[in-house]
């Protein structure tokens, strides 16, 4: 008899570990519920495929992108993470801050993520428009 293993619950540490050295190949569907919703300041995406594609596109634009974990809070259902992004864009190295509010389900998988940062500042500093949602 084979039992399906549930991935470990998503945590602020999992966020920090991934974004310390993000690998597009490591963006897999396991941490997400199938109908995950991502709310970026400029758009929203629905479903694992659209959500992971958005992350992959961002990393293809900025392959050296790193997020440093700042403050965080976790009440079991919501994880709030303040982060500092560092990357190299068309205008050279830049830094910008933001916050993610990640909602996890009872099984610990990501149900929703609301990402907050100044997109105009990101675009001005990086020299790139944010990738489209599709």
Domain borders along the chain are 12-126
pLDDT for the residue 130 = 82
Query: Right CATH number for 12-126 from 3.30.1490.20, 3.30.1330.30, 3.10.450.50, 3.60.21.10?
Result: 3.10.450.50
The pTM (predicted TM-score) of the whole model is 0.89
- At 6 the pLDDT is 62
**Digits of tens for pLDDT over the chain (134 positions)?**
455 566 678 999 999 999 999 999 999 999 999 999 999 998 999 999 999 999 999 999 999 999 999 999 999 899 999 999 999 999 999 999 999 999 999 999 999 999 999 999 999 999 999 876 55
What does the alpha-carbon distance between residue 123 and residue 129 come to, in Å, rounded to a whole number? 5
Task: Specify the DSSP class assigned to residue 26.
Answer: G
């Amino acid at each position: 008899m084979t039992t399906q293993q549930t991935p470990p619950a998503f945590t602020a540490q999992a966020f920090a570990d991934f974004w310390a050295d993000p690998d597009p190949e490591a963006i897999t569907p396991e941490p997400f519920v199938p109908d995950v919703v991502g709310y970026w300041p400029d758009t929203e995406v629905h479903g694992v495929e659209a959500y992971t594609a958005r992350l992959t596109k961002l990393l293809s634009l900025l392959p050296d992108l790193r997020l440093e974990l700042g403050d965080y809070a976790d009440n079991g259902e919501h994880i709030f993470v303040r982060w500092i992004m560092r990357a190299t864009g068309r205008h050279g190295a830049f830094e910008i801050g933001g916050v993610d509010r990640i909602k996890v389900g009872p099984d610990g998988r990501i149900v929703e993520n609301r990402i907050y940062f100044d997109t105009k500042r990101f675009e001005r500093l990086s020299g790139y428009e944010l990738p489209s949602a599709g």
